[in-house]
Amino acid sequence: AQSVTQPDIHITVSEGASLELRCNYSYGATPYLFWYVQSPGQGLQLLLKYFSGDTLVQGIKGFEAEFKRSQSSFNLRKPSVHWSDAAEYFCAVGLTGGGNKLTFGTGTQLKVEL
């Protein structure tokens, strides 16, 4: 079965600093990969997705992620964090040919210091 690991439970960055959130997956083939963001008490909003092709994908709100097959990673990055980026971030993996059933990581809580 596939699995997703987000090794950082909490991350604190200063506003204006760069950000990288880590995500590693375990799956035999190339999965579909997603990053979602959740504000407190809200549902999840899609930031970006990777299906195939260019391994650097751009998303909303200035986020990007890079798929590295050799490292089984799909890390999320932002060059300059804004205070409104404080939220919880989830990495998810879907099976090729498996419809869109997803497996989620445990999430990374981002705090932004002003």
Contact residues for other proteins (CB under 8 A)?
9, 32, 34, 36, 41-46, 49, 51, 90, 94, 96, 98-102, 104-107
15 or 44, CB closer to other proteins?
Answer: 44
Judge contact between 66 and 75, C-beta under 8 A.
yes
Task: Round to the nearest angstrom and report the end-to-end CA distance of the chain.
Answer: 41
Report DSSP letters for 39-97, one per residue.
-TTS-EEEEEEE-SS-SEEE-GGG-EEEEEGGGTEEEEEESS--GGG-EEEEEEEE-TT
Q: How far is the CB of 37 from other proteins (least distance, A)?
A: 11
1 or 114, CB closer to other proteins?
Answer: 1
Q: How far is the CB of 16 from other proteins (least distance, A)?
A: 29
42 or 80, CB closer to other proteins?
Answer: 42
